[in-house]
A and B are shown apart, each in its own frame.
Chain A
Amino acid sequence: MSRPSRWRMAAIHAGLTLLCVATLYPVLWVVKMALSPTDGLALTANPFPETVTLEHFRQVLSSTDAAGRWVFGRQLLASIVVAGATTVVGLTLAVSAAYALSRFRFPGKEGGMQALLVTQMFPATLMMVPIYGILQKLRLLDSLSGLVLVYATTALPFCIWNLKGYFDTLPRELEEAAVMDGASPFQVFVRVVLPLARPALAVTALFSFMTAWNEFILAATLLNDPSRFTLPVALQRYVGEHKVEWGKFAAGALVVSAPVMALFFALQKHLVGGLTAGGVKG
């Protein structure tokens, strides 16, 4: 590739910087609300706080319940458990299903893939009433495992599509060679295919994690114990009937978003290669 001229590079940098500023501006705005001592809004275009206080963060992080228990800590733990378990369960189910859809021939395969896509088309808000009834029949109401199951299955269609797309790009020759060497089909799957699919696994895991980490309506509806609420539910408590506690909401929003941002940062190398959306055929 020929080396682009310096002017060209400067122009690219200028363009990217501009877009980054546009991207970061709203985020800075939230940071400002979180750090300002007031709990309201004020008209100014300046995204940097005039006075800085950590009071909102302190109040959000140290929130306790009537019994003096450290609720934030428990809610953080509940969030980690729910999002972690959703990732594990969702990924396990999605990986095996996607592998079958990519490698085996069986009747109803095309139809099944389409049916998965179709489920993404029905508005989720109306699914709540039946889901509640089903979970009650299964005695999974008010339990974190019920929540995990719902999250894991709702994230499945995307996960399966993404993984299947990636598996399709892996050359079959490697698997055939492993079979020649005497590996069982299961060994081939675990020892050969999965390590090769690492980028897609990382992205899919990230996606399931985000689904569970960010959701609040289902969590608030299904759980009955404030110390097991996930963090978004706790965050939503700052949005009241008559007023919104903006400062605490912003501080909480940053606390909730931080882990996901950290994961994005850690996984960003895989992100580009692992997100196939079912289509990159190298």
Chain B
Amino acid sequence: MKPWLALALLLTALGARAAPGDARPLKLWHAYRGGEESALVQATGLFTSKTGIPVELLALPYDAYAAKLTNAIPHGVGPDVFIFNHERLRNFHAQHLVAPASGLMREDYFPNAVEALEVDGQVYGYPMSLKSLALYVNTKRVPHVPETTNALLTLLPALSDADAGRFGLAYESGDFYFHAGFLFGFGGALFDDSGRASFDTQGMARSLAFVKGLQDKRFIPQEASGALVKSLFNDGRAAMAISGPWFAGEIASDVDYRVVGLPVVSETGLPIQPFLGVETAYVSARSARAEQAQALARFISLGEASRVRATVGRQIPADVAAYTLREVREDTLISSFREAARHATPMPNTLEMARVWEPMKLALRAVLQGGTAPEDAGALADRRYRALHRVRPPEASPLPWLGLVGMVALGGSVWVLRRPAAAHPFRRRYPDVARAAAYLAPAAAGLAVLVFIPFAVGLGMSLFHHEAGEYSFVGLANFVDILASRGYRISEPLSFYFTLAVTLLWALVNVVLHVSIGLLLAMLLKNPLLKLRGVYRVLLIIPWAVPNYITALMWKGMFHRQFGAINGLLVALGLEPVSWFTRFSTAFAANVVTNTWLGFPFMMVVALGALQSIPQELYEAAEVDGASQWTQFRRITLPLLKPAMLPAVILGSVWTFNMFNIIYLVSGGEPGGGTDILVSEAFRWAFQRNEQYGFAAAYSVLIFVVLLGWSAFTRRLTRASSEVVG
């Protein structure tokens, strides 16, 4: 009965959604949580009570938010208004997702917030709140706030005692978002006059040397993550911390602190200028009710709504008038962040900016965790930047390709028609073809529409170049770029061959471990006299039942430098904790451990099934002949296991080859993209390097070709092994 129940539930669920209201609500999408979310709910409630237009809110997981917007809006099924950081504005603009803010009055907002939303002289979206970094100071430990870096440097030695786990300052030093302030403070510029990113500058070298100095003198913790900064500051073990407004909500109630602007760099006289992020209410370019949508976006960015967002949501309003309100002005956190934001550099909303993150992360980590000298890091970043910044290949004419397709079609039909007639008519050779078609039709239809068509589209896309929402036909240029490994040496991460080698190693190591652990367990468990057999089997199967993104996040936590259980175990055993993601070998090992944990149960179950199908008499006969256990295993178990295990091994190897979640979530490609495999590389080209879909599709096609070769090879293996067994 169960399936029918489920169907009935499905039908009711479908029926329930089509109840049209009187006034259709405006749709507003966001990724807020907690206080910020309730503030937004209140603010839109105010809008509804004032205008009578209902607003429907949709809260999305941050990870899936951008992809959803870029998919939904062009199809006309997106929101009327959505809230997003301003950094992606240029992308949204290029894909025609956002409309100019027609109701915006510049004087309502802080000038740098409006500037951040300008593209070619037009302002897109209404600035809601500011996000930038400031200095959190534990007032008990630091009575006098350092106003310059020299003052900071004289303060730090007394506040730090790394052996006791105390640090003068804590912040996420490996993240460029946090480092940018130092870069600008040391007079570095991120972009040259032509608007291209430049990394190999004096400011870069000096800022890196400064931070490296802090780390070498052990004033700041190494490899700090957000979780570490929080716990250090809450325990009083970090006297100061650099973080954003969101940090205030995480500070324990017994810590006395104040927030001040970042100090001035003594050498240059410039303040440390962090990036300014502007949370913005954008009006969708495809909104059917543009006027009402503009009104809503403007409403939530100003006046009463901005008061609610400041007091309930603890946001830093971008609206000037908000600061005339007593409750906002007297809120020390908000006014100090407002003060700190004065010096902040609006993060450029250009496409160039999106290309900067990956090279900068590489340079920062190379200096702080690897042995690279600060003055060499700029060149390192520069090279990576140039490799990522692909120039649009020249357009190719699609004519030869269309001609080729035509020729193939023609040749194919000629071949079919001219083929000598079969000895038996079609009906005689395939007596049940009609019945087969009836049985296959539903599955084939589903597969054709939702699997094979997308697949063909993916193949076709590899011949195009995608930039800013437009596709241009480039023929094989993407493949040529990849295979010629343009812009980087073959032996470096990011080259196709390096990644391929890593992927093959990854697949091989994993499959070997899966199969051998699975087989070992199956051998131990097959003995029917073993007590508690069922219990063991259930316990050992658990990893298979856990969704693999949860597994990945769980293990990522276990490998955490400061809080991970693995390092906890090492410390308990009197060993040094390991920094897992700074070296290729340990990062790769972390990935392998995770994937082995999640993959061995499948092989164990397959092996158990296969072992059961081996007739017991064979072993008894062997026993009579005096064969040892090892001989029995080698001569009976292994050969008879092979035909059953091979298909599982093939399937397992294909799955491992494309095991995106683990690589992406556990090591994230660290260090420097070294542990990325082909799939995660394709993902980065598609979604993190300015949406180069065509290039990513070319990567996917190459993955596909490699696997196709592998399956052809294994098919021969299977055939051979079934011939041996008979």
Q: Which residues of chain A have a CB within 8 Å of any CB of chain B?
A: 1-4, 9, 12-13, 15-16, 19-20, 23-27, 29-30, 33, 40-47, 66, 77-78, 80-81, 84-85, 87-88, 92-94, 96-97, 99-101, 103-107, 114-134, 136, 138, 141-145, 148-150, 152-154, 156-158, 160-161, 165, 185, 210, 213-214, 216-217, 220-221, 224-226, 228, 232-233, 236-243, 245-246, 249, 253, 256-257, 260-261, 263-265, 268, 271-282
Query: Chain B binding site: helix, strand, loop or mixed by DSSP?
Result: helix
Most B CB contacts (10 A, CB to CB) among A25, A45, A150, A246 go to A45
Chain B residues with CB under 8 A of A245: 33
Which chain B residues numbered 441 to 495 have a C-beta less than 8 Å away from chain A? 442-444, 446-447, 449-455, 457-458, 461
Any chain A CB within 8 A of the CB of B14?
A: yes
Judging by beta carbons under 8 Å apart, are B10 and A45 in contact? Answer: no
Q: Which residues of chain B have a CB within 8 Å of any CB of chain A?
A: 2-3, 5-7, 9-10, 13-14, 17, 27, 31, 33, 38, 41, 57-64, 67-68, 71-72, 75, 77, 226-227, 230-231, 244, 246, 250, 429-433, 435-437, 439-440, 442-444, 446-447, 449-455, 457-458, 461, 521, 524-525, 527, 529-532, 534, 536-551, 553-555, 557-558, 560, 562-565, 567-569, 571-572, 597, 602, 605-606, 608-610, 612-613, 616, 619-620, 623, 643-648, 651, 654-655, 657-658, 660, 679, 682-683, 686-687, 693, 696-697, 700, 703-704, 707-708, 711
Chain B residues with CB under 8 A of A268: 534, 537-538, 541
Chain A residues with CB under 8 A of B527: 4, 12
Closest Cβ neighbor of B539 among chain A residues: A20
- Output the least CB separation between A97 and chain B (Å): 4
Chain B residues with CB under 8 A of A143: 14, 17
Judging by beta carbons under 8 Å apart, are B6 and A99 in contact? Answer: no
In angstroms, Cα B231 to Cα A44, docked, is 14
Judging by beta carbons under 8 Å apart, are A152 and B446 in contact? Answer: yes
Judging by beta carbons under 8 Å apart, are A237 and B540 in contact? Answer: no
Judging by beta carbons under 8 Å apart, are A273 and B609 in contact? Answer: yes
- Output the least CB separation between A183 and chain B (Å): 15
Judging by beta carbons under 8 Å apart, are A96 and B682 in contact? Answer: no
Closest Cβ neighbor of B678 among chain A residues: A123
In angstroms, Cα B710 to Cα A120, docked, is 13
Judging by beta carbons under 8 Å apart, are A134 and B450 in contact? Answer: yes
Q: Which of B64, B439, B457, B554 contacts A99 (CB 8 A)?
A: B439
Chain B residues with CB under 8 A of A281: 643-644
Chain A residues with CB under 8 A of B461: 126
- Output the least CB separation between A277 and chain B (Å): 4
Number of residue pairs across A and B with beta carbons under 8 Å?
A: 372
Q: List 9 A-B contacts (CB under 8 A).
A: A41-B557, A115-B452, A122-B704, A123-B703, A136-B75, A228-B17, A253-B550, A260-B546, A271-B541
- Output the least CB separation between B24 and chain A (Å): 14
Judging by beta carbons under 8 Å apart, are A81 and B540 in contact? Answer: no
Chain B residues with CB under 8 A of A273: 609, 612
* Known pairs A143-B14, A273-B612; A24 contacts B700 (CB<8 A): no
- Output the least CB separation between A227 and chain B (Å): 10
Judging by beta carbons under 8 Å apart, are B686 and A45 in contact? Answer: no
In angstroms, Cα B566 to Cα A43, docked, is 9
Chain B residues with CB under 8 A of A94: 443
Most B CB contacts (10 A, CB to CB) among A43, A217, A273 go to A43
Closest Cβ neighbor of B246 among chain A residues: A242
Judging by beta carbons under 8 Å apart, are A19 and B455 in contact? Answer: no
Judging by beta carbons under 8 Å apart, are B554 and A1 in contact? Answer: no
Most A CB contacts (10 A, CB to CB) among B554, B609, B707 go to B609
* Known pairs A23-B542, A226-B58; A126 contacts B246 (CB<8 A): no
In angstroms, Cα B601 to Cα A260, docked, is 15
Chain B residues with CB under 8 A of A127: 451, 454-455, 458
Q: Which of A24, A29, A123 contacts B558 (CB 8 A)?
A: A29
In angstroms, Cα B571 to Cα A189, docked, is 61
Chain B residues with CB under 8 A of A185: 435
Q: Which of B14, B230, B447, B546 contacts A145 (CB 8 A)?
A: B14
Judging by beta carbons under 8 Å apart, are A105 and B432 in contact? Answer: yes
Chain A residues with CB under 8 A of B644: 276-277, 279-281
Closest Cβ neighbor of B461 among chain A residues: A126
Judging by beta carbons under 8 Å apart, are B541 and A43 in contact? Answer: no
Judging by beta carbons under 8 Å apart, are B436 and A106 in contact? Answer: yes
Q: Which of B68, B450, B531, B558 contacts A150 (CB 8 A)?
A: B450
- Output the least CB separation between A137 and chain B (Å): 10
In angstroms, Cα B63 to Cα A213, docked, is 18
* Known pairs A44-B568, A93-B442, A130-B453; A145 contacts B10 (CB<8 A): yes
Judging by beta carbons under 8 Å apart, are B530 and A77 in contact? Answer: no
Chain A residues with CB under 8 A of B553: 239, 249
Judging by beta carbons under 8 Å apart, are A23 and B539 in contact? Answer: yes
Q: Besides the contacts A84-B3, A106-B437, what 9 more A-B pairs have beta carbons closer than 8 Å?
A: A94-B443, A103-B432, A120-B651, A127-B455, A148-B10, A156-B451, A220-B61, A268-B534, A272-B608
Q: Which of B67, B230, B549 contacts A221 (CB 8 A)?
A: B67
* Known pairs A41-B557, A97-B444, A144-B14; A264 contacts B545 (CB<8 A): yes
* Known pairs A45-B565, A143-B17; A123 contacts B646 (CB<8 A): no
Chain A residues with CB under 8 A of B457: 129-130
Q: Which of A40, A118, A153 contacts B230 (CB 8 A)?
A: A40
* Known pairs A29-B554, A41-B557; A272 contacts B9 (CB<8 A): no
Closest Cβ neighbor of A282 among chain B residues: B613
Closest Cβ neighbor of A152 among chain B residues: B446
- Output the least CB separation between B574 and chain A (Å): 12
In angstroms, Cα B454 to Cα A150, docked, is 11
Judging by beta carbons under 8 Å apart, are B524 and A237 in contact? Answer: no
* Known pairs A88-B6, A220-B64; A153 contacts B567 (CB<8 A): no
Q: Which of B31, B439, B531, B550 contacts A97 (CB 8 A)?
A: B439
Judging by beta carbons under 8 Å apart, are B565 and A1 in contact? Answer: no
In angstroms, Cα B557 to Cα A249, docked, is 12
Q: Which of B63, B449, B530, B565 contacts A239 (CB 8 A)?
A: B63
Closest Cβ neighbor of B560 among chain A residues: A41
Q: Which of A19, A24, A153, A236 contacts B446 (CB 8 A)?
A: A153
In angstroms, Cα B453 to Cα A132, docked, is 12
In angstroms, Cα B527 to Cα A88, docked, is 36
Closest Cβ neighbor of B543 among chain A residues: A23
Q: Which of B541, B547, B682 contacts A123 (CB 8 A)?
A: B682
Q: Which of B439, B539, B568 contacts A104 (CB 8 A)?
A: B439
* Known pairs A78-B13, A122-B704, A123-B682; A29 contacts B542 (CB<8 A): no
* Known pairs A23-B542, A154-B451, A272-B612; A141 contacts B77 (CB<8 A): yes
Chain A residues with CB under 8 A of B648: 277, 279
* Known pairs A41-B560, A154-B451; A280 contacts B610 (CB<8 A): yes
In angstroms, Cα B536 to Cα A241, docked, is 40
Judging by beta carbons under 8 Å apart, are B447 and A118 in contact? Answer: no
CB-based closest 3 A-B pairs:
A84-B6, A45-B568, A236-B61
Chain A residues with CB under 8 A of B531: 13
In angstroms, Cα B226 to Cα A238, docked, is 15
* Known pairs A132-B71, A134-B454, A272-B605; A156 contacts B13 (CB<8 A): no
Judging by beta carbons under 8 Å apart, are A120 and B654 in contact? Answer: yes
Chain B residues with CB under 8 A of A232: 547, 549
